[in-house]
Structure 1
Amino acid sequence: MVNVIWACMAIIGIIYAMFNGTMDKVNEAVFESANEAVTLSIGLISVLVFWLGIMKVAEKAGILHALTKLFRPLVTRLFPDIPEDHPAMGYILSNFTANMFGLGNAATPMGIKAMEQMKQLSGSDTASRSMITFLALNTSSLTLIPTTVIAIRMQYNSISPTEIVGTTIIATIISSVCAILIDRFYYYKSVWRK
């Protein structure tokens, strides 16, 4: 549906430009945007590769394992339907750790694996309680270091690209707490109805 909306917007814009006589400006904007997108992508790739390397070093040094141990009690309370030794728990913890370091692209495959494991665990085609909680938390995306945003700010020559870290931490803590509260509210509301 979103693809259809974007296609309609592009077609309407091109038709309007044809009738308005500004097609040359549309062509110029298309090529400038394409050039800027490629430049931005290359800049983001370098930062993401750097942080993925840091994550690999942290994994080899045992830091990720320590973070996993640290967050396991909290995660087991958030997902009481999942046994502690189930593979879904490992994927969930890995996803949360990658998201905390702002590596959404690295967290996505782990999030998909976690959802697959939770689907197998529930044995149903409908979303389980754990799947809904995981989706809510993943959407709120608790982030300590917003690497992608820092990379974009560096790409556009920001004077202080890391100045957003403090506000990002505050905003994502609030969004994550709200996600948990809303998730629990609707869960207990559905239990109460039954």
Structure 2
Amino acid sequence: MNKIWFYMLSIGIINSIFMGRLDELNKVIMTETSKGVEFVISLIGIMTLWMGIMNIAKESGLVDRIGKYLYGVMKIIFPSIPKNSKALSYILMNMSLNILGASNGATAFGLKAMEELQKINKQKNTATNDMIMFLVINMSSVQLVPFTVLKIRMDEGATNPNEIIITTLFATAISTIIGVISCKLLERRF
């Protein structure tokens, strides 16, 4: 990933030098980077709220209770994860935050889930089917309320920033279903 960013930045800088637009590049760097920082800071409230709620749910045992109800579904999707593994709790918290549109907050739980999945991985240098499935679900992530996109639309002055909720739910549900089916089919082939 670092190489991709390096090449993109290098190409942009070299292109601006050859096109004689280095002054525009400097102006964009100065204005847009501050906008990026402002945007991240403005999301802190939403992320803090959902991370707090999920930590309370985890500490109160709510996540574990939900996990018990969803264990049958989780066992179909992630067949090799043992019932008592912490990975299932972290996966549930990650999915919950993604569903609520707080994907930035879900990252911490996603990393914890992958650490737990790696602990039960017999071949440490190869990703398991469960790890791959988790990544696919995490990347496609069904979203009921895409808070980040709503925030961007509100900041940009959209007259009805909420109008994307139904289409986002539909698109993310379809992408998740196709991702899960594809993984299950490829698991059987390889």
TM range (shorter): 0.7 to 0.9
Give 1:4's aligned amino acid.
F
Indicate conservation of the 8 Å contact 1:76/1:82, yes or no: yes
* Cα pair distance change 1:140/1:72, threshold 3 Å: same
Question: If the length of structure 1 is used for normalisation, what is the TM-score?
Answer: 0.83
Matched, 1:96 2:95: yes
Paired letter, 2:11: M
Determine what percentage of the aligned residue pairs are the same residue.
32
Is the alpha carbon distance of 1:70 and 1:120 closer, same or farther for their aligned partners in structure 2, counting shifts above 3 Å? same
2:180 aligns with 180
Asked whether the equivalents of residues 150 and 161 of structure 2 are also in contact (C-alpha less than 8 Å), the reply is yes
Tell me, yes or no, if the aligned pair for 2:64 and 2:89 is still in contact at 8 Å. Answer: no
1:32 aligns with 31
What secondary structure is seen at the aligned counterpart in 2 of 1:102? coil
Q: Which string of whole-angstrom CA distances, capped at 9 and with x for unpartnered residues, describes residues 10-30 of structure 1? A: 32133224xx3x333333222
User: Which deviations, in whole Å up to 9, do the C-alpha atoms of 1:125-172 show, x marking residues without a partner?
Assistant: 211121111111111112111111111112212211222111111011
Question: Which residue number corresponds to residue 147 of structure 1?
Answer: 147
CA contact (8 A) 1:144 1:165 kept: yes
Aligned residues: 187
Q: What TM-score, normalized to structure 2? A: 0.85
Tell me how large the CA RMSD over aligned residues is.
Answer: 2.3
* Paired amino acid for 1:130: D
Give the match for residue 121 of structure 2.
Answer: 122
- Residue of structure 2 equivalent to 1:112: 111
1:24-103 → structure 2 map (5 Å cutoff): 24-55=23-54, 64=63, 67-103=66-102
**Cα separation, partners in 2 of 1:146 and 1:70, compared to 1, 3 Å:** farther
The amino acid that maps onto 1:139 is: M
Larger radius of gyration between Structure 1 and Structure 2:
1
